[in-house]
Structure 1
């Protein structure tokens, strides 16, 4: 490999690493823009094969640190291979669309089309293989910056497009006056600020989160189900005592984290705990082969429930089971059954939208909840598998973006932290630590207005991906037409 190529690949890797640094728990959201500036400069003028290679270097350098928590989860038992293979697989999606960059570089406003292709790869890796893995979308790193405000218009796809286009546009059009167009997304983000409100529209609810904690054992949690249940029953009894003693206000609603217990339709111990508390509770439990959230009334017991729709591949459902034994400890466990209904539950006089753990990364789950009348969003999760790394903060960033997107308060209930209360503007008003038992009580606003993203976010996503898909045939047609034109000669592929 020639020295100029080494420099290009090195710069692409540095840009990917900078993008990783832009994500929570850091608040370096702004690093994403220079990351894409550098990436555009390194792919500038490159052919399809080299652009693909540079895209892989960028993607691999991004996903390796971003997904380090998988190594904490599986590394002791399976070595680095699950982490390395997943990072490489995700990087291949970026590699694939980057191979098309030289083609769309022939079109006017090339940075627009290249940014659309980047949105396309995020869409594809959220769908395939095995229902996809939508982690690490650029938008999820923007919750502390102004670009996140665009989520109220078009959700995560629009935020990703805005960030990538800004970086590509600044690089491609500098120093010409047309570079000002690259600043349109940031101006638009500032302009939509009045659309984001934290005011209650249908009252407020005092919500308590029971964080019972879990041992930091990684795969050892497979045998700790009884411990998790006991921890949350004990912490619920503590909440009841504190409320009776006046140390805490009596909540209107209590939330348990994901898979805090196993239960059936009849559970006398759980009945007694919630009756003693005297507050309707959302119990997150494994029941009847499903990962569920169940409404539990202090007088009538278990009621309606929501079952997780997006199951984690190779954990909650096992594709390619014989091969899966190489890299997952769950290969011999029965698959969970996926739910089919939107996550909306009526409890404590409130319509609550639910997305369980991994589902917060999927656009449609909480969008359907909000569109179906949810006044408040709840995300129960179990991140104890992944230790003290960045995974729980990355997921909290997703929940914060969903708050802005749908104009709803979001309550995150994590079994070992970080649990949080998020305002409809994405700001965190209260949170817990990691690997500690805790109780969190706060008042949240209930809202009913549907944001533009809730109403039309799915359509906007289709338009963005449709434009990306159309860009390549249009570019091919344009190239063939130019070749047939009298007096036409070879044209250099470039960034303009």
Structure 2
């Protein structure tokens, strides 16, 4: 009589679903930390929950939980993409981008069981999370650095660390605190595990500079407004130009009537007008102001368009310009054009020409650093400007595409982090809001509402000192990446071939047979 094989009892899905629910809740809590809310501390709680969800997980399950965490976060965080495109194009761009970004968090979490057996496991796991932020800011197609943990910390104490190590250090501090707290909670009587308070203590010890070193400048922002029509904005170029010319004329009248202080510099938003460089109407508008104006424009050059900021002089007209370097994939440049029609309505539009020169313009007796819109998410753009001597940053942007959602507040948070990172005041000029003037310590001096005509006039300090983040931020990010990869290699050698698991405590002890 042959033996009868007994099928194994099916494993219950309930524990997996509970872990997935915990990971999804953690992703939602991470989103809650970002502006316009001020709940920065929910990010720490998010990573504590993620660590708890990952406890004991092997590689494949850790990857699944990491994907759930990332997908929940990005679905909420990028909802403005559906506000922008959903009405006319459906939810595919929002869903696809959220899923692709979640693959990066899945990859980071999949590697965490490798480092779980090392001493101080939360440290190595946090470095892996920062590594995936660095990776997705570069690949594919020049990356998408939106939604980094650091950008949700502008209302909290961790922001101060930006002056030391930029966004990577802020992200690391938040993640390692959350992971460390969860590991500590597993063994609360072990005082040696109380180290997660150290990043917060370190942040509180940093005092970002805000005083003027090289005098001050009075800067005016022109917010001409735009209709809230999403993709319909493509047909509103003339409206944008008329609006900004009209508000500029109103500002000139207010200056002559001494209703506002006379500015040294005026800033227009991104793509507020189209121009070929020779533009008598703009010449007259700037001459009427009587001060140099940075004009955000789509400029036609040799049959191509550039997204540019032009220094317009009241006497001599258009002068030097900065051309946007970091173009938005699937909008300003179209990779995989044969496939792009599935996820973008811009598949048939020509690519903009990318700039190759750093964002510095000498205007109004001041070296000004420029980053256009999406570029504020990239570490290198304004870092290069600061290294080349910029005393002040301007960030022209056009957020009118995205309606009244959270996108403009998320972008303003990035500008606030850059202010602290490099110790520079930042002037944000937005087509339809939110425009703002930000101090070097990240505080907002003045800001506008959304979808309204407005002007801002404020005096900002000029600074020339370079912060540690300006000098060594790129090196620190590279060291973080090397440390994360080294930890993975060490974890893999520790017990080759075994199914590593993430433990609640910070690092498991070696057992007999483990390789040292």
Q: Same fold (TM over 0.5)?
A: yes
Match of residue 240, structure 2, among 219, 223, 228: 228
Distance in 2, Cα, partners of 1:79 & 1:126 = 25
C-alpha RMSD of matched pairs (Å): 1.2
Distance in 2, Cα, partners of 1:231 & 1:247 = 21
Aligned partner of 2:154 in structure 1 is 143
Runs (5+) with no aligned partner, structure 2: 1-11, 508-516
Q: Confirm or deny: 8 A CA contact 2:114 2:500 kept in the other structure.
A: no
Q: Which deviations, in whole Å up to 9, do the C-alpha atoms of 1:58-96 show, x marking residues without a partner?
A: 111111010000001100122111111111110110001
Aligned partner of 2:201 in structure 1 is 187
Q: Confirm or deny: 8 A CA contact 1:149 1:189 kept in the other structure.
A: yes
Whether 1:114 and 2:125 are equivalent positions in the alignment is yes
Aligned partner of 1:450 in structure 2 is 466
- Would the alpha carbon gap of residues 107 and 301 (structure 1) be closer, same or farther in structure 2, given more than 3 Å must change? same
Q: CA deviation at 1:329?
A: 1.8
Distance in 2, Cα, partners of 1:312 & 1:492 = 39
Distance in 1, Cα, partners of 2:495 & 2:192 = 24
- Would the alpha carbon gap of residues 218 and 493 (structure 1) be closer, same or farther in structure 2, given more than 3 Å must change? closer
Aligned partner of 1:309 in structure 2 is 325
SS in 2 for 1:433: coil
Match of residue 255, structure 1, among 267, 272, 284: 267
Q: Confirm or deny: 8 A CA contact 2:184 2:193 kept in the other structure.
A: yes
SS in 1 for 2:114: helix
Matches within 5 A, 1:279-358: 279-287=291-299, 288=301, 289-358=305-374
Aligned partner of 1:208 in structure 2 is 220
Matches within 5 A, 1:399-414: 399-414=415-430
- Would the alpha carbon gap of residues 463 and 491 (structure 1) be closer, same or farther in structure 2, given more than 3 Å must change? closer
Where does structure 1 differ by over 4 angstroms across 4 or more consecutive aligned residues? 489-493
Whether 1:264 and 2:276 are equivalent positions in the alignment is yes
SS in 2 for 1:237: helix
Whether 1:158 and 2:169 are equivalent positions in the alignment is yes
What TM-score, normalized by structure 1, do the two folds share? 0.97
Whether 1:364 and 2:385 are equivalent positions in the alignment is no
Distance in 2, Cα, partners of 1:170 & 1:353 = 39
Whether 1:277 and 2:310 are equivalent positions in the alignment is no
Q: CA deviation at 1:177?
A: 1.1
Q: Which deviations, in whole Å up to 9, do the C-alpha atoms of 1:12-66 show, x marking residues without a partner?
A: 1011101111100000000001111111011011100111111111111111010
Q: CA deviation at 1:490?
A: 9.6
Aligned partner of 1:486 in structure 2 is none
Whether 1:68 and 2:84 are equivalent positions in the alignment is no
SS in 1 for 2:459: strand
Aligned partner of 2:503 in structure 1 is 494
What TM-score, normalized by structure 2, do the two folds share? 0.93
Aligned partner of 2:6 in structure 1 is none
Q: Which deviations, in whole Å up to 9, do the C-alpha atoms of 1:100-133 show, x marking residues without a partner?
A: 1111101111000000000011011101110000
Distance in 2, Cα, partners of 1:215 & 1:351 = 34
Q: CA deviation at 1:494?
A: 2.5
Q: CA deviation at 1:493?
A: 5.5
Task: Give the length in aligned residue pairs.
Answer: 487
SS in 1 for 2:269: coil
Q: Confirm or deny: 8 A CA contact 1:78 1:326 kept in the other structure.
A: no
Aligned partner of 1:430 in structure 2 is 446
Match of residue 182, structure 2, among 164, 171, 176: 171
Match of residue 7, structure 1, among 9, 18, 26: 18
Q: CA deviation at 1:313?
A: 0.5
SS in 2 for 1:284: strand
Q: CA deviation at 1:265?
A: 2.1
